[in-house]
Amino acid sequence: MADGRAGSIAAAVEDAAKLLAAAPERAEQRARAVLKLSPHDPRALLILASARRRLGDCPGARTLLEPLAKAHNGAARTHYELGLARAGSGDAKGGAAALRHAVSLNRDFPEAWRALGDQLFKAGDVQGADAAFAEHRRATLHDPRLKAVSDALAAEAPEQAEAMLRSHLARMPEDAAALQLLGETLGLLSRSAEAEAVLRHALDLEPAFDGARFTLASVLFQQQKATDALPHLERLLARDPADPAYRNLFAACLSLVGDLGEVDRLYRGLLADFPDQPRIWLNHGHALRTVGRFEAAVEAYRRCIALAPGLGDAYWSLANLKLASFSDQEVAAIGEQLARRDVPKADRLHLHYALGKALEDRRDYAGSFEHYAAGAKLQRQQVRYSADKTTEDLNKARALLTPAFFAARAGAGSPAHDPIFVVGLPRSGSTRVEQILASHPQVEGTMELPDIGLIARSLGEGAVASTEPLDALPLVPSGRFGELGARYIEATLVHRKLGRPRFIDKMPNNFLHIQLIHLILPKARVIDVRRHPLGAGFSVFKQHFAQGQSFSYDLEELGRYYRDYVALMAHFDVVLPGRVHRVIYEDLVEDTEVQVRRLLDHCGLDFDPACLRFYETERAVKTVSSEQVRRPIFRGGLDQWRRYEPWLGPLKQALGPALETWRKPGIAQGSL
């Protein structure tokens, strides 16, 4: 008889537990019915408390759970529910403590790790939240081999993680969880295109895999493919509109497509919900910088630092504004963070760059260079780059791209004359040239658009013999060039908010694709902005870029890259004479009006005095020069590199003849 009653109670408890997620009211009724028969049944009490919490009565749930957790200190699920009830009733600290206890009892408790991560995120504990979310990822994995991969990622060993995943996927190629981890790993290794392909395959296998979808959106954002990322984020937000990570990335993507009013609204909403979350303050600072609200950006970055003194990106973002020097207290704080052994690599490299800038402002050039070099060394360890491969590719370009090659394909592109491409080495004055052009009433400034590079890569993806875009180019039917030009114009419409007839694409690395630009958009204008190689080179070396520019973290590789760039442009001067207009930044500084008139003339634009008052033009500027272009041209920055000349030997040696002949058109600089 007793056994029958116990079995009936157990069945009722099991039935109530099944109802919790979808029908907490009915679960509560079943639990109360059990408690009438067995008033102290811990299972029924836990279900009743969970139902009350789900129905919004967190204080009531907590009243039930506090004595239950005390009586059953080893029950992970009970402490998990207590953590949620405490947090829901306003006791964030107590909630986190109960959740920590729950995961200490059961490391493979994904819901508890996720809840703990959410609580720490809301409290502004960046490292704690990141660690909890990493454990959540690990706990969702059932295969021990994948758990080991997750541990490797948490230990900041992505190369090891990739090797383990490749081995696993060789045996189980359609394991979506492994593919998601591989996509995340490749993203950490700055191999975004590979990551994208892997993650799309994971979603083909499991379309409802939200983790893979969010990682894909993040990887697309890394590649500036915001328009592709937005539908994925909209789908995720439809399922969970309050998720801060989804909202944060959604705002960042909207910033890339220029919907800045909505971006401001989103960040205000996020900050209202998470006022102590430093990463949201950081991203809000980035958005404020873009629209020229520099004082507000500084305030946002400093608020971020106050909340998370170890978040290196906030210090670097503040330094990158180039508005004011760090205080002595801030310099000391950066040093204290660098002295810690537990600082993550990403924070450490940002701190080195920030301290480099702080010491530069104090005229401690030796100490400054030491920290710039330390930051660059850390970043170089994380990126794939081969200077030999770059030179090999450009040698191949010179052999292929002859006058006969272009003559055979003449007239096949789109007739659109809208784009003005501004190319060159980063930090050479291209943002200033963009701002001058964008001050003309017929021209709209956009941003560094990825579309030409994406089109080039798509040629390689469609090639039979090779995946290299240059190898694929001769195989493209001439009739397709017009289609590709039209595709570019359509893809970039999202960035053209003002409806002006001309627009600027300021992706500096597009110099690698001038052949493609010429074939698909023969009427587009191309501007090559060039600066003294030591000035441009050192400015690039001391700049940590959010993405790309993998050549820039080693002085010798940087010099070789500049040399190859100058040689390739010299080749285009010969095979496509007059196609590229060159702006020497030093000449622009010394003789501004003459150079501006020549620039406008090349673009087919009448002179407009507003182009000389470019610093008065109000527009969003998304590059690191956003503050500088809002000031008149000045000579002060031209010779800054001379203070660091004692340490630039590897750069000088790698530049070779280009160090002397970089100004001259149509002259090959060394071997290409």
Q: Which pLDDT score, from 0 to 100, does residue 317 have?
A: 93
CA distance 654 to 668: 15
Q: Which pLDDT score, from 0 to 100, does residue 665 have?
A: 67
Task: Count Cβ atoms below 10 Å from residue 522 Cβ, excluding itself.
Answer: 21
| Residues 202/176, Cβ–Cβ less than 8 Å | yes
Q: Is the domain defined by 394-661 classed in CATH 3.40.50.300?
A: yes
**Whose CA is closest to 421, among 573, 523, 550, 496?**
523
**Whose CA is closest to 542, among 415, 653, 377, 314?**
377
CA distance 146 to 125: 27
Top-confidence residue, 327 or 620: 327
pLDDT digits (tens, 9 = 90+) for 302-346: 999 999 999 999 999 999 887 777 899 999 999 999 999 989 898
**Whose CA is closest to 445, among 620, 633, 628?**
620
- Average model confidence (pLDDT) across the chain: 90
Radius of gyration from C-alpha coordinates of the chain: 29
Give backbone dihedrals phi and psi of 231, rounded to 5 degrees, phi first: -60, -35
| Residues 217/236, Cβ–Cβ less than 8 Å | yes
pLDDT digits (tens, 9 = 90+) for 412-458: 999 999 999 999 999 899 989 999 999 999 999 988 888 999 899 88
CATH architecture of 2-139: Alpha Horseshoe (1.25)
Q: Which pLDDT score, from 0 to 100, does residue 627 have?
A: 47
pLDDT confidence tier of residue 218, bands split at 50, 70 and 90: very high
**Fold match, 2-139 / 394-661:** no
> Strand 502-505 to strand 419-424: parallel, antiparallel, or no bridges (unpaired)?
parallel
pLDDT digits (tens, 9 = 90+) for 561-608: 999 999 999 999 999 999 999 999 999 999 999 999 999 999 999 999
Instruction: Report whether pLDDT(671) > 60.
Output: no
Instruction: Report whether pLDDT(464) > 90.
Output: no
Top-confidence residue, 290 or 82: 82
Top-confidence residue, 4 or 112: 112
187-380 in CATH: which number? 1.25.40.10
Instruction: Report whether pLDDT(670) > 60.
Output: no
Task: Count Cβ atoms below 10 Å from residue 553 Cβ, excluding itself.
Answer: 25
pLDDT digits (tens, 9 = 90+) for 363-389: 999 999 999 999 999 999 988 899 999
Instruction: Report whether pLDDT(293) > 70.
Output: yes
357: its two tokens = 């800038």
CA distance 608 to 600: 9
For the chain, give every domain's residue range. 2-139, 187-380, 394-661
Q: DSSP string of 358-413? A: HHHHTT-HHHHHHHHHHHHHHHHTTS---HHHHHHHHHHHHHH--HHHHHTTTT-S
pLDDT digits (tens, 9 = 90+) for 220-256: 998 888 889 999 999 999 999 999 999 999 998 998 8
